[in-house]
Structures are given as structure tokens and as C-alpha cells.
Structure 1
Amino acid sequence: MASKVGHLYFPMPPNIDSSQKGCIKHLCHLCFNHRTFPGTLKKNSKDRSSLSFSKAACIFIYKRFNMVIMSEIKKKKTSRDKQAEQTKQRIYETGIALFSDKGFDETSITEICRKADCSVGAFYHYFPSKDSILEETFRMADDDFNIWNTSSAQNFIGRVVVLEYMRTYAELVISSGLEFSKRFYTWKNKIFIKKGRPMQTRLTELIRDEVDLGNLKLTVSPEEGCEWLFVCARGVVFHWCLYEGDFDLKERMVETVDRALRGIEAF
């Protein structure tokens, strides 16, 4: 089944109910009313709420619609799924707390299991190693930025989208804690350069959307722009760790990224 917007047909995601199928038109109107892209409202006898958009605008809508629907599908879980998630989350939170209190090397898997009230077998079912607990933080961060992309991006336009995205990145670092960040932001952490991570992919998509809609002009590609901005952002966090958190990370992050963004903007 497909839904028509403008002159493009979009395939509906699988396993959605009838109420969700009407979501796309609501999202179209929402985006139109927020003026996040150029579009025109048309009314006719066949469809009183039809909208006609440019191709770039249609792609913009579809990306957001598809992620919203798929996130709703993921919410439909069994009680066993929920119990498994609770166990995994308990192990994760216990491990993070012990790493912060005692240090990573001084914390054993046995101690994590004892504090989390679970078996060693349960630990290895969810986490192959202690390092994988740290990697889970990155996965959770990627999930957070997926949500940000669908719910928050429509509230901003142009370069402000990028600045607010990086402000959220700084908030995530702060919530993880200074000691935890010191462990993460080292040259040994190769997760930072892993290709295809949603955190970087989302920013690339946001930049591309704003460029396609004419709200942002760059001298480099969206991929190059994203890489450059994250190099700057990680540098700010590393600097924050060196100075024991002795400055406002969010303020410094936005200031630094703003300057970096101006360096690759076309005027």
C-alpha cells in the first residue's frame, strides 16, 4: 500500500494499523504549518487535505514520517521483551555507576553481577565484555539522536538546526558525567570513527535537507561538513575533560561549532 504526496508515491512501512496510515497527512500539515520547507496547499473535491510539494520537500516529509512510524512499531513489545530490557538496563546502569566510582579497570564483571542482582550468564547474554557496556552508551546516544531528528528538527531552520543538534550532543556528554567522558574521549576509542553511526548519519541528513531546501549553503558536501563539525565537537569535549569540566560545555560547544560552520558556509 502507498500514500500519495505531491506527485510522489511513498510505500507504507509494514505492520502498521489503519490509524497510523493517516499519520502522513497529519505530518504533512504539521511540516507545512511550521514552514520548514516551501509548499502549497491545494483543495479539491477528491481530497480536501491534499498538499503539493517540491520533490525535495516530499523527500523531507517521507524521512520523518518513516522514522516516526517505525519507532511506533518498535514500541509494541511483549512482557518478556520488557523484562529482558529491564535486566539489560539494570546491568548497564550498575556497570556505569561502578566505572565512575571505582574506575573501569578496577571493576570486575562478578561485582557488576552482584550489584545488579543477576547471574554471570545473564551478563554475557547481553554484554560480551565490559567494553561492550561502554559501547552501549554510544548505541543509546544514537537512539536519542534518532528521536531528536524526528521530533526536534522541525522546530528549527538552517544553521540553527546544526547548532541545536550539537547543543544536544553536549547535553548528552554532560549527562554521562565527567569521569565517564574521560574514559571515552581518548585516541583508543575507535567507535568515534566507525562508519554509518546514526549520530553522524542523522546530522548528515539534516544538513542535506537544509541544503536541498535552500536554508543552508556550504562549500563542502553534507558528509564532509558533518565530519568536520564532529571533529570540532570531540575536540571541545576533550578540552572539557582536560580542564576537569571547568567551563560551560554547552555554551562552548555551540560557540565552537558556530565558528566552524561559518568557515564552510557559502555566502
Structure 2
Amino acid sequence: MTKPVVPLPITTDERHSVSSTLTLAVDISGDVVPGACEYVRRRIGAFLRRVPAQVESAKLKLTVYRKPAVPRPALVQVNLVADGQPVRAQLTGAFFQEAATLLRKRLNEQLVRLQNPAVPRPWPPPRDEPPSVPRPAGQREVVRRKQYPLRTCRPDDAALTMDLMDYRVHLFVDADTGEDAVVYRGGPTGYRLARLAGLSPPAGTVTTPWVVNVHPVPRLDARAACERLDALELPFLFFRDAETDRGVVLYQRYDGHYGLVTAT
């Protein structure tokens, strides 16, 4: 079983300054070899020193998954604030060296997107997406619940947030219709929009090649949503909560369990 996330003790030797005012903090989870931790920190720190954006904060997280056995057990996640915008990237590898190399490439793509918000990410995506830990249906549980005020914005802005945060799906309130909605990667263009009811394309000028979901959004409770996701084996499920009537996202985490995102 994976150990709880604990901060790596920071000493003079453990700190790696990205600039005169920024330190790359590190959290570890699982049996991370110290040499691997130092390698990843140096690789990511060297990359951040060269980026054109102003990096205001940076945090590195390293996780090892041993049980059940997975082919790519080393997961690296980086959370930044660059030019005032949160940026998150997460990738896996057979070893931390591989994961760090892939992560530098992903961060570069995200920072390019930040500098050019009108240019969508390429589609189809690369084949280095983190695969979920294989966990049989029926053994998956909701192990994390996220509840926050949903941002009201246009779909293009929601897509930018999704890309910069390395999300598969992003829940928001559609400014055009006032409905809870999600944007996600998929379809022929790479960007799909689903609202609780509305089927019209985004209004006004758009820069994202949208495909609007025309399938009804199911009305479910959390238990029924888990059962449906178990059966469908999809990365996430967008549904209308039977009690609150708000949009909810149930998603599959890297550890094979589920996370639930709801609005306050």
C-alpha cells in the first residue's frame, strides 16, 4: 500500500534554487530512492531556470506505485505558478529518469500554450499519458472528493485551464448558458464540450475547434455513477447529481480508484 505523502526534509543540501527567490520544494510518496529524487530535482530545476515565463512558485511530487504491479510505477508531478497562472503536469515512467524527461517535454508544451492561448494543443495526444493502476471493477472507491466554487467562463477559457493543469476533463459554469458544463479531450478535433442540457455551439468568436456533446447527461447519485463507470471503463463520467441538480465529474485516478469533483 502506498505510503502517505510526506514532505522531503529540506536542508541546505536538499534545496535546489531555481532563481534567487524560488526554491523547488519536494514531496515524496512511497519508496523513492534518494538518488532518483536528486536527479529529478536537478533536471526539473535546470529546465525552470531557462523558461521565458516568470516562475513564482514550484513544487515537485514523486510517487512510487508497487502494489499492484504496474509497468510504469514512477510518477512525477510538478505544480507551478508561471506568469500568475497555475500550471500542473503529471507523467509516469518505468524509472524516474524517464518520467522526468517526459515531464520536461510536457511542461514545455504547456508553457508554450500559456504564451499562445489562442493556439490549441495538438491532437491526437502523445502516447505517454499516465496509465491508471489496474484495479478490478468493484474494488474501486471514491478516495478523494474535491468541492469548490465553479468558475464562470467561456469554453475557450475552460479549455486553456484544462490544458495548463494537465486535466483530462474540467468542470465549470458556461458563461453563454449559465449551465454546469465540462470540456474534455476527445473526438475528431481534440476538444469536446458537454453541458447539462444545452446543445448549441459556443457563442461569439472561438479559437478552439469544438465538438458539442449531443448525448443526454444522466441523472445519478454517486453510487450509481461509480457503478456506471465500473461498467463503461471510461476515464471519467459527467452527470447531473440527483440531489443537488448540479453537474458532477467522477474520474479515475492514477491509483485506480475514483475522485469526485462537485460544486460548492
Q: TM-score, normalised by structure 2?
A: 0.30
Comparing both structures, which one devotes a greater share of its residues to helix? Answer: 1
Using CA pairs under 8 Å that are at least 6 residues apart, name the structure with larger relative contact order, 1 or 2: 1
Greater Rg by CA: 1
Comparing both structures, which one devotes a greater share of its residues to strand? Answer: 2
Q: TM-score, normalised by structure 1?
A: 0.29
